[in-house]
Amino acid sequence: MKVCEIKKDIYWVGAVDWSRRDFHGYSTDKGSTYNAFLVIDDKITLFDTVRSEFRSDLLHNIRNIIDPSKIDYMVVNHVEMDHTGSLPDVLEAVRPEKLFCSAMGKKALLDHFHRPDWPYEVAAPGDTLSLGRRSVKFIETRMLHWPDSMFSYIPEEKLLISSDGFGQHWATSERFDDEVDLSELMSHAAKYYANILLLFSPLVRKLLERLKELGIEIDMIAPDHGLIWRSHVKDILEAYGDWAHHRSRKKALVIYDTMWHSTETMARAVGSGIEQQGVSIKLMDLKVNHRSDVIAEALDSRGLVFGSPTLNNGILPRMAALLSYMKGLKPREKIGAAYGSYGWSGEAVKIMNNYMKEMDFDVVEPGIRVKYVPTHDHLKECVEMGKRIGLAINRTGD
Ligand code: FEO
């Protein structure tokens, strides 16, 4: 991809990964980007690098602007390999005077690359580095989403280089938020938040407060994945506020897997009952919906209703995978219920109820179990349970 001057003498020099379809279990149906930024100042500085497979792209982009050996400083905002995989090769070409990272970043770099000889310079939280006409303020963002994570803020440019924060997995030839469809952009940002940052929501809330307290002005947020925010900075900050506070709307997901369509038939009846209470529903069959897309839809859903038949005294593997994944991401303030068919032992509903209790859901118990194939009366029961879920959602207000 061609380099892009995002502000005067500040360049996007990253890489676009059009083919990425899986990111440690997160389905990236539209690829991703690994953004890196080059600031030309008295001290020429490179912020972040790219996955190892794209090291030639990064160096090619840099060479289109300057000789890499002219770079003075490098900054590693985050050590995960999608931003450092190419670091050994880039360091070889650049040989910077200093390599800035957080204290935890230095430890993580040593544990990844085992190179004590690199020119580490630990940036303490709040440290300011002068580049000449510009400066860089390092903002600690520990556990957003790794212990080493930090942001770099350039006050003279009102530019926040935000590492994984505010990112999206979306491969595009456009670089800015106002060059693409905003609703699609926000849906990628929501999916990213739901799958990467949701469990750290308490820290995101603190970070948003801290950014306000610091009084920093931001007119551009440049994340390490996806589009750069310049026209919708306020929108993405507000969306992060909503997501971090677990704000949801009157919407319920009816999530299920099925063996011989009994649980699927129950899912439709449960959904019908919820709908009858004026609550928006979405049925998500796990055979055709990836768990990372379910989590994305769950972000603004107040109701999450799970259906699985019993298999081997347990639940179907796709439901087990979803619930295990979801539990790790710590969704909060949800209303839940469970249902499913069974043949003889019938543990599935209890197992799903237990998962929901572990996630602090408000569970509409006991759920519904149907032996083998539901009758008309069983389906009426499912509709009634759906109505109770819809009522519970309505009672929580808008
Ligand atoms: Fe984009 Fe946590 O790496």
What is the average pLDDT value for the chain, to the nearest integer? 97
Kindly tell me if the per-residue pLDDT of 398 is higher than 90.
no
- In a domain, residue 127? The reply is yes
In short, whether 169's Cβ falls inside 6 Å of ligand 1 is no
Nearest-atom index, ligand 1, CA of 224: 1
Top-confidence residue, 398 or 184: 184
Residues ≥6 apart with Cβ < 8 Å to 287:
257, 258, 318
Which is the catalytic residue, given 80, 148, 177, 297?
A: 80
Cα-to-centroid distance, 23 and ligand 1 (Å)? 10
Distance (Å, rounded) from C-alpha 243 to C-alpha 205?
9
Residues 238 and 256 in one domain: no
Tell me: do 172 and 240 sit in the same domain. Answer: yes
> Does 83 sit in the ligand 1 pocket, CB within 6 Å?
yes
One domain, residues 75 and 132: yes
What pairs with residue 272 in β-bridges?
A: none
Query: What local confidence, expressed as pLDDT, does residue 84 receive?
Result: 98
The residue contributing the CA closest to ligand 1 atom 3 is 80
pLDDT, tens digit (0-9, with 9 covering 90-100), for 297-349: 999 999 999 999 999 999 999 999 999 999 999 999 999 999 999 999 999 99
Residues 280 and 381 in one domain: yes
Amino acid at 151: F
> Domain holding 195: CATH number?
3.60.15.10
CB–CB of 150/158 below 8 Å? Answer: no
CB of 78 within 6 A of ligand 1: the answer is yes
Can you tell me the distance from the alpha carbon of 139 to that of 210, in angstroms, rounded to the nearest whole number?
Answer: 10
Same domain? 231 vs 266: no
Whether 148 shows a pLDDT value over 80: the answer reads yes
Share of the chain above pLDDT 90, in %: 98
Overall average pLDDT of the 183-210 stretch: 98
Is residue 137 in some structural domain?
yes
Rounded-to-integer distance, Cα 292 and Cα 192, Å? 9
Q: In the annotation, is 78 catalytic?
A: yes
pLDDT above 90 for 1: no
- Which residue lies with its CA nearest to atom 1 of ligand 1? 164
The pLDDT value recorded for residue 397 is: 80
Q: What average pLDDT score do residues 371-388 get?
A: 98
Say yes or no: 216 and 86 in one domain.
Answer: yes
CA angle 173, 174, 175 (to 5 degrees): 115
240 to 143, 237, 333: CA distances (angstroms): 16, 5, 16
- Which residue, 228, 244, 260, sits at the end of a domain? 244
Residues 221 and 197 in one domain: yes
Residue 397 within any structural domain of the chain: no
List the catalytic residue out of 83, 225, 232, 378.
225
C-alpha closest to that of 174 among 45, 9, 315, 4: 4
| pLDDT at residue 250 greater than cutoff 90 | yes
Radius of gyration for the chain, computed over Cα atoms and rounded to the nearest angstrom:
24
* Residue 82, ligand 1, Cβ within 6 A: yes
State whether the beta carbon of 41 lies less than 6 angstroms from ligand 1. no
Containing 37, the helix (H) or strand (E) segment is strand 37-39
Q: Where in the sequence is the domain holding 50, given as residue range(s)? A: 4-244
48 pocket-lining for ligand 1 (C-beta < 6 Å)? no
In percent, the amount of the chain with pLDDT more than 70 equals 100
Distance separating alpha carbons of residues 180 and 163, to the nearest angstrom: 21
Please say if 224 is a catalytic residue: no
Same domain, 142 and 217: yes
Last residue of a domain, one of 244, 270, 289: 244
Question: How many Å lie between the centroid of ligand 1 and the Cα of residue 362?
Answer: 33
Residue 183 has pLDDT above 90, yes or no: yes
| Residue located via tokens 């009952």 | 273
Nearest CA owner, ligand 1 atom 2: 80
In a domain, 395, yes or no: no
Residues 203-246: tens digit of each pLDDT: 999 999 999 998 899 999 999 999 999 999 999 999 999 999 99
The CATH number that applies at residue 329 is 3.40.50.360
Q: Closest ligand 1 atom to the C-alpha of 146?
A: 2
- Among residues 192, 193, 256, 339, the one annotated as catalytic is 192
**Which tokens in the block code for residue 43?**
């001290």
Between the CA of 61 and the centroid of ligand 1 the distance, in Å, is: 21
Is the pLDDT score of 55 beyond 90?
A: yes
Alpha-carbon separation of residue 374 from 217, 272, 304 (angstroms): 59, 15, 22
What is this structure's pTM?
0.97
Structurally, the chain folds into a number of domains equal to 2
Query: Do 193 and 265 fall within a single domain?
Result: no
Beta bridge partners of 74: 46, 99
**Over the stretch 57-105, which tens digit does the pLDDT of each residue have?**
999 999 999 999 999 999 999 999 999 999 999 999 999 999 999 999 9
Please, which pLDDT band fits residue 126 given cuts at 50, 70 and 90? confident
Residues 335 and 384 in one domain: yes
- At which residue do the structure tokens 């389906």 appear? 379
Task: Please indicate, yes or no, if residue 398 is contained in any of the structural domains.
Answer: no
Same domain, 134 and 80: yes
pLDDT at 191: 98
Q: Which two tokens stand for residue 236?
A: 């993405």
Domain check: are 370 and 266 in the same one?
Answer: yes
